[in-house]
Chains A and B, each alone.
Chain A
């Protein structure tokens, strides 16, 4: 069965520091992968999606970037964090083509 692993689960970082959040998927090959962010008191917003290795689409302009170095690995990064980057970051992939999204446990980032 499909599983999504995200780490770290929680992270507290100072403003201006770099960021790397990792997502690894098991139980599927060549999945579409997605990064969503849930800001406090707000819904989820799609940040990036990837249909394959090295292929990244950005949905909103922001301070973050994404990379997909391997088929089942999706990384969210920043060179310099802003306070507004705080939130709950969720990695997701479809259970089947055009099926419902399956989410990881999330990474909670607090920027101070």
Chain B
């Protein structure tokens, strides 16, 4: 079946450190891929997305590239800030499945000053 696997957290980094959160997926066909972010006490917000292989999604300094050959969509940021502390969710949506997203378990990021 379809699934998303993320690296386990919590991930603790110092400010300005480089961030990678790994995400791999299992799906038939060509799913769309997403990263959502959940700040403390809030709902989820879309961070970035990619809809086909080799697409790169980017937003707020975060990037992720849709790699079909490795079935991955790793999230990266060159220099994290304290305000990036949040839980990050990787998700996939199969073609023509509307809003039925399959989420990973989430990775908590804590950035220390």
Contacts and interface: CB of A to CB of B under 8 A. Distances in A.
A12 to B, nearest CB: 16
Contacts of A32: 98-99
Contacts of A36: 103
A100 B98 contact: no
A36 B103 CA distance: 10
User: From DSSP, what is the main secondary structure of chain A's interface residues?
Assistant: strand
Contact of B43 (A46, A98, A106): A106
Nearest to B101: A101
A83 to B, nearest CB: 21
Contact of A94 (B43, B98, B105, B106): B98
A34 interface: yes
Contact of A43 (B46, B98, B100, B105): B105
Question: Interface size bucket, A side?
Answer: 20 to 34
B43 A34 contact: no
A18 to B, nearest CB: 24
B43 A103 contact: yes
A105 B43 contact: yes
A52 interface: no
A102 interface: yes
A41 B100 CA distance: 21
A90 B98 contact: no
Interface residues of B, number: 21
A44 interface: yes
Contacts of B49: 100
A104 interface: yes
A21 interface: no
A42 B43 contact: no
A101 B34 CA distance: 10
A98 B100 contact: no
A66 interface: no
Interface of A: 6, 32, 34, 36, 38, 41-46, 49, 59, 90, 92-94, 97-98, 100-106
Given A98-B96, A98-B98, A106-B42, 7 more contacts: A38-B106, A42-B106, A44-B89, A44-B91, A94-B99, A100-B34, A100-B46
